[in-house]
Amino acid sequence: MLRMVVVDDEPLALEVLENYLKKMSGIQSITLFSKAREALHYLENQKADVLLLDIEMPEITGIEFLEKLSDPPLTIFTTAYRNYAFEGFELGVIDFLLKPISFQRFSIAMDKVQDFLSLKNKDTQLDSGDPAPEFIFVKSGVNKIKLYFSEVTHIQGLKDYAIIHTAQGKIVIKGSIKMVQEMFPSALFIRVHKSFLVATKTIKRIERNRIVIGTYQIPIGRNYREDVEKSIGV
């Protein structure tokens, strides 16, 4: 059961998101704020599971808002401006919704939240032993699962966790993207962004400053672009 907090200075946007949330299952509470500083004070003293956060607000931007929180909830950015997507990835947001937000797109974002929290609760972690050339073991509770590097497409860092995307699904592990990078073979994986590690063989299409892998669009960080171009022979 999720405790939701919604922050947006536009009353209509708050109303739309509240109505969407009321249609979703698994919601324990919905707390709305039209003033960012009031929301900031609330989150410094109360626990929330998910934060729906507008970016362009008069008192303080959503980016500044997140930077002020010592332990922010799982966050979805909501904004009318496309150019904030990369800042969102830098801050570890789980999704980025472009206004006007359809209920269908909103549902996809909430599914991402539920998937992440469900996988996170499985207490999965990488085996800290020396990895074999073709695979690594993933600890899930008392069990060990063999994860083949060839099945991994990309990894996203999200706060203190990493989401490993494979051909069969996703695995959420406790640990940073840097930790994962150190345990995955550098011959097969390349860091393309502060928050993303990508299997080199999957880089077949680049659109401007992002890599397209199926339905995923992965940003290429400014400091990583040269390495990405070398990896594909550009």
pLDDT at 30 > cutoff 90: yes
Q: Domain boundary at 67, 98, 120, which?
A: 120
Instruction: Note whether 106 and 185 are same-domain residues.
Output: no
Are residues 131 and 179 in contact, defined by beta-carbon separation less than 8 angstroms? no
pLDDT at 144 > cutoff 60: yes
- Convert the pLDDT of each residue in 147-166 to its tens digit: 899 999 999 998 788 889 99
Instruction: Note whether 56 and 105 are same-domain residues.
Output: yes
- Domain enclosing residue 201, as ranges: 124-231
Instruction: Note whether 14 and 39 are same-domain residues.
Output: yes
Q: Residue 173 is encoded by which pair of tokens?
A: 């592990």
Are residues 200 and 231 in contact, defined by beta-carbon separation less than 8 angstroms? yes
- Convert the pLDDT of each residue in 84-131 to its tens digit: 655 666 677 888 899 999 999 999 999 989 888 877 766 566 665 556
Number of compact structural domains in the chain:
2
- Supply the pTM of this predicted model: 0.67
Instruction: Note whether 34 and 46 are same-domain residues.
Output: yes
Give the torsion through C-alpha atoms of 200, 134, 139, 179, to 10 deg.
Answer: -40
CATH code: domain of residue 139: 2.40.50.1020
pLDDT at 216 > cutoff 70: yes
Peptide bond into 133 cis (omega under 30): no
Instruction: Note whether 96 and 167 are same-domain residues.
Output: no
